[in-house]
Structure 1
Amino acid sequence: MTLPILYSLRRCPYCIRARLALLLAQQPVMLRDVVTKNLPDELLLASPKGTVPVLVCTDSSVIDESLDIMVWALKQSDPSNMLLSAHPDAFQAMMELINRNDTEFVVSLDKYKIASRYHHKDVVDYREQCVRFISYLDKRLTKHNYFLGNQPSLADYAILPFISQFSRVDRSSYLKSGVNTPYPNLQRWLTAHYQNPLYSKAMTKYPLWLDNREECLFE
């Protein structure tokens, strides 16, 4: 059976959320793990912009945006109802929340990561920019276990890899914040995801495809 091909980078948050959605959809793919310094010609031919993830479908169509891959996968199969199909306004609400993550929080997060790495004087300011969105998410979780209710949705899994990154930028500060933390609900939410075997499965390390050109079944 011919399967879609996913070009992916293991620790890239965009790739992580694409892999999570494929697992949630129970959509098997042939995984080709790559590194940004040595992208294969096949990937660049499929998507000249040269970023991952890239999904090459069985009909040769190409999806090269992580959120589009997530939606495509869940529209193929959504056994856990990640799209909250019974609620007609849910998809729009999910997309609005994800867009805020992608256009606001991620920009601040990237600045925070760089400032922390190089001990930049503005690191506290960038962290505070991140915390504004973190606090907003925490408030959403005061009444429900997940962002749109008591069951996880596309929004939770699309945002998860970036919250995980934030928690690791300054791990000691993050762990110290466990006592009297201003966002306990989000920490509970993140821990619950870490304890889900699905997350570990999405983070499994595979051989680099260019080393031997042997594809790995990812399902």
Structure 2
Amino acid sequence: MSAPPLLFSYRRCPYAIRARLALWQAGVAVQVHEVSLRDKPAELLRLSPKGTVPVLCLPDGTVLEQSLDIMRWALAQHDPDGWLQAAPMEAMLALIARNDGPFKPLLDRYKYAERHPERSAADWRDEAVRTHLANLEARLHSQPWLFGTRCSLADMALLPFVRQFAQVDRAWFDATPALPALRAWLQRGLDLPLFATVMAKPANHPAPA
């Protein structure tokens, strides 16, 4: 019997969260190694020189270095709620690309505004809303999930990033009249038992040196 896939992860990283959501949803048993970002293990760097998480090493030696690749691989094994079929794949990938492309750098600048003093945190926040979140808000006005009545790959791929955005200034996010539908969508996702499961503190599996 082969060993389970090896997942290098970091509990609060949104890319790692999305990968774990798909792996847990698919029921794929993995050996999780929680990585200290200040002391990255040699095995992680050997498998993936970029040194970022998540990284999934399959029993046959295949290494998946991108969170979206891990999601799609996991759901190809088992997709009990049809996340991959909830909407046309091209449309879901386009929405994820806008999240990972234009939106993510703005989220980082908003979260770490002191490192980007050329603009205020509020300016970075407002641009992030205009660039991406306003579109999500419009989608969610008349439906519970981004592509309709069913949770999709895109919902779970975006959820950890919207969660991170909300946590930068929770009082503002909870009060803004601009994002009520997005607020409800975020809470809907956070209330899923699956989300609580993937955010549980991992067992003590130190990453191999």
TM-score, normalised on structure 1? Answer: 0.88
How many angstroms does 1:124 deviate by? Answer: 1.6
Aligned to 2:127: 129
Does the C-alpha gap of structure 1 residues 27 and 207 become closer, same or farther in structure 2, counting only changes over 3 Å? closer
Asked if 1:204 corresponds to 2:204, the answer is no
Q: How many residues align?
A: 206
Cα separation, 2, equivalents of 1:171 and 1:183? 13
User: CA separation in 1, counterparts of 2:119 and 2:164?
Assistant: 20
**TM superposition score normalised by structure 2:** 0.92
CA offset at residue 135 of structure 1?
1.2
How far apart are residue 16 of structure 1 and its match? 0.3
Distance apart, 1:209 and its partner CA = 3.4
Q: 1:91 aligns with which of 86, 89, 95?
A: 89
Give the 5 Å matches for 1:130-209: 130-132=128-130, 133-177=132-176, 181-207=177-203, 209=205
5 Å matches for 1:42-61?
42-61=43-62
Shift in Å, 1:148: 1.0
Write the deviation string for residues 117-170 of structure 1: whole angstroms up to 9, x where unpaired. 888752121011111111110100122211111000000000000000000101
User: Contact 1:54–1:65 (CA<8 Å) still a contact in 2?
Assistant: yes
Q: 1:12-51 maps to which residues of 2 (within 5 A)?
A: 12-51=13-52
Structure 1 residues 170 and 118: CA distance shift in structure 2, 3 A: farther
SS at match of 1:37: coil
In structure 1, distance between residues paired with 2:80 and 2:57: 23
**1:62 equivalent in structure 2:** 63
**1:110 aligns with one of 108, 111, 123:** 108
Structure 1 contact 55–64 (Cα < 8 Å) conserved: yes
Change (3 A) 1:98 1:14: same
From the superposition, tell whether residues 191 and 116 of structure 1 become closer, same or farther in structure 2 (CA, over 3 Å): farther
Flag structure 2 segments of 5+ consecutive residues without an equivalent.
none
Structure 1 pair 119/209, CA: closer, same or farther in 2 (3 Å)? farther
* Corresponding residue number in structure 1 for 2:5: 4
- Is the contact between residue 137 and residue 186 of structure 1 (CA under 8 Å) also seen in structure 2? yes
Aligned 8 A contact 1:34 1:209 in 2:
no
Partner Cα distance (1:143, 1:92) in 2: 22
Aligned CA-pair RMSD: 1.8
Gaps of 5+ in 1: 214-219
Q: Secondary structure at the match of 1:6?
A: strand
The question of whether the paired residues in 1 share the 8 Å contact of 2:96 and 2:154 is answered with yes
